[in-house]
Structure formats: C-alpha cells, structure tokens
Amino acid sequence: MSSEGKSDKSTDDQPAETLMKKVLLKRKGDFTDRNPKRIRSKEIRRGLDDSTLKETEYYFENYLRKVYPYYFTYTTFCKGRWVGRQLIDVFCEEFRAHSKEEYEKNITVGNIKVNGKPVTGDYIFKENDRVTNKVHRHEIAVVAAPINIIHSDEEFVVVDKPPSIPIHPCGRYRHNCLLFILAKDYGLNELYSVHRLDRLTSGLLVFTKTIKKSQEINEQIRERKVKKEYVCRVVGNFPDGVIHCKEPLEVISPKMGICIVSPNGKDCETIFEKLSFNGTSSIVQCKPLTGRMHQIRVHLQYLGHPIINDPIYNHEHAFGPLKGKNGEMGKSRDQLLEDLLKTHNLQKWLIDDNAPILQNDDTDANNSINDQENKMSLNALEYYIKSNGYEKLVEKYVKKPENFIIEDSCDLCHQKYMDPQPKDLIMFLHALKYQGDGWEFESPLPSWAKDDWKENVTEAV
C-alpha cells in the first residue's frame, strides 16, 4: 500500500505529513482524501511529532543511510473503483509491491483488516470501508550525505538536495525521505514544500515555514510567475543555439510515473541551450516553462539526447534502439510499461543464493558496462558524501545489531537484499535556480556539471 498511514505508536489521527501532502500538493496517490472536512487546521500545523520520528533510527553503512526495520500500519479508505470487488484482487492490482501469496498470508493472520475487523480475501468492498495493513517495514537505502542548507530565515528553508532521496514519504521510503531527515537531523519538524524534484534529481529545493507562505509561492507557480533553471548532462553533442521544445506530454501510467510525447498530451514547453561538450556528452541548460512530470527528461529523450544515466528514458531495452527519439518506441504502450516494470521493481535487489553462476560474453560485457557506470556515479557522488558534516553523522549513526527486529511472519526479514549500487543513486539532472516574486535562490553546481568533467574513471569502485 502507499506510504501514508499511521504508526502503531500514533493516535487514530492521520500523520501530519499525509495531511500536508493532501492540502499543499493535491497528490493523487492511494491515500488522497477527497473530503476536505476531514482536514483540521490544528493537524496541519502539527508537523512531524516525536512519536512519528521515534518509530525507528538511521544507521550508516557502505556510504548509505539505512533504516532499522519497524512496525507500521497503512491506512486508506475504499476508492470508488474498488466497490464491489474482492479485497485480494484489489490488493494484487493496486499494490504490486508484494505477491498474492504474501497478501493472502497477511489477510489470514489478521494484519489486513477492514473497519478494524479481520476479513477473508473474498471480502467485497463497500463504500466508506476503512482498510488497514500492519506491516514490518523495510526501507530502501539512500546516499549517506549531509543536507546542505543554503538559506534559512523566518519564511524559507532552502536546501541542496542530494540525489537518491525522495522529498516526501513514498513507496518504500518514509524515514529515508528529505522531510524526515530534516526533522530528525536538523530539528526542522514543520516544513511545507512548494515544488518537487524527482528522487534521483539533485539541487535546489525550497521549503516554507508557514502554510500561508507556501500557498503564496504555490500561487506564483500556478500562474507561471516562477522562473526555473536546471542543468543536465546528456548523451552526445547537443545542437548549438536555443532549442525550444513544445511537444505535449501524456502520462501513460500514473502508478509508475511514466510519460511520453503524445498529441493527446498536455501542453508542455522547455527551452534548452548547450553550455559545453566534452567530446562524449553535453552540459545543457534547461528552462521549463511548464511544470509537467518528467518534462525535461522526456523532451531530451524526444530530441535524441537523453540524460546519460536516466534509468527510464535512456533505457534501450524498454524504449528500443532509438531510445524514444522523435517519439519512436517500436512497441505498444502496454509492452513498454511491462518492460519497464521488469527492470524497475523490488526483485532487482534480491539475492538468490540458489541461482547458478553462468558467465558468457554478454555477461562479461554487461558487467564491464555496469562497472564503468558505477565508477562514474561514485565519482559524482563523492561531491555529496565528502561534504561538511559527514564524519559527525557517521559517528552518530553507528550500526547497532541489537536494533534489528526480526519478524517471523515478514517475508522481507527472510530475504537477502543487495545494497543499491552507485549507479542506482544518481541522475545527472540538477535544479540550479528558482526565482519568484520577491525571492530568488541558487544552488552550487555539482561536480558532474563542470565543463572539464569526464565520464571515464580509472579508479576502482
């Protein structure tokens, strides 16, 4: 199920970060509440309380920030599309993070309940049903980087977001999201985000300290009064001059967050200009005039110059040999989504002790490519890992074996998962500047955005 819910240590009220997302971001996630009467102003002001922050702790290992497993209860209400359908069918279709067998087991032991009561898998959903799912939660690691606070005053907190860290709780990230890290490490318990960055995107992120200021900035963004500037590193020699891309974008999978250029899409405009070329890749300035999901990434793909380490829109297996240039995929949308799902799911982290070790020319070639990608990514990640404050965090978050809780009924406790590799933690897209009415902020350039930076790295990972 989705990331919003309540901890077993909390009251029946929904967590504050959920409510903040509902009010400020109007997200259409699994737990979005369409009834504004349920939102009370005192809950919005509450921020992240101590009981939520103390659900678990961090520890640092292999240059990664990790979270000790902990118990958590997801909560949602029956969606209109669920009414009249069986519970097990809804879970398997809507929440694909786990297998049907695991959901059936959790229904049987009573971890999944409807209106506070145990049910069977063939339970038929009715309107206003309240569904809870108690889980032993395991989070995915993120880069162990301090958060560089660029600016802080009575109205704003502006940070240079490291790659790999999502802003809000989502999927298998909760404590390992920026809102929780800022609250736990820096005492900033009540922040309101005014714009979003993808998890792998780095750079400028603006928070406000009051909901009034947040609404003011959001209004400026809706009226397109905020100027935004990004930089990225793309494949090949990007064309000279100013490139104005106006291709409309369509979201073909809200669940997976996949967009394509399509005549049925919404209007979308991005201005690009090459800043440098190192013989292999180009640094490109990007100025999005609209705020569509993934618009910089998809427009660059369409132009034939995707971001060099974009795990989705520079994926040859999913988008074909042309990688989506000029909108050419060579397959149906359903097949595209199926191929992307195969390469971007939980199974990629699973270590199978019984798998045979087979080596061939293709395996060696893939290992060589992966090794080079990891070297390049680690070289870029050092900019964040070696920043001020890292050593203090390492001392604070020493791994403590006694903090691990093993749950017999938890499948994840009995699986072995590999750490994310460096190439899984970064994408070369960086939010550089944001300017609105009466405010302007800029972040430092990351190392990979410098003119003399090279992809080829000789040092071992």
List, by residue number, the catalytic residues: 198
Q: Residue 243 corresponds to which amino acid?
A: I
Residue 415: which of 138, 101, 74 has the closest Cα? 138
Asked whether the CA dihedral 280, 285, 287, 291 is positive or negative, the reply is positive
Burial tier of 279 (Cβ tally within 10 Å: 0-12, 13-18, 19+)? exposed
- End-to-end CA, the chain: 36
CA-to-CA distance for 64 and 167, rounded, in angstroms?
17
Residue partners of 192: CB distance under 8 A and separation at least 6: 20, 24, 207, 208, 209, 210, 211, 213, 214
Contact (CB, 8 A) for 143 and 162: yes
DSSP state of 342: H
Contact (CB, 8 A) for 194 and 206: yes
Q: Which tokens belong to 70?
A: 């902990």
R_g over Cα of the chain: 22
Residue at token pair 């380490």: 309
Asked whether the CA dihedral 240, 242, 248, 249 is positive or negative, the reply is positive
For residue 420, count other CB atoms closer than 10 A to its CB.
17
Contact (CB, 8 A) for 47 and 190: yes
For residue 281, count other CB atoms closer than 10 A to its CB.
24
Cα 217 off chain centre by: 23
Residue at token pair 């240059």: 63
Residue partners of 440: CB distance under 8 A and separation at least 6: 433, 434
For residue 280, count other CB atoms closer than 10 A to its CB.
13
DSSP state of 110: T
Q: Residue 28 corresponds to which amino acid?
A: K
For residue 362, count other CB atoms closer than 10 A to its CB.
8
DSSP state of 125: P
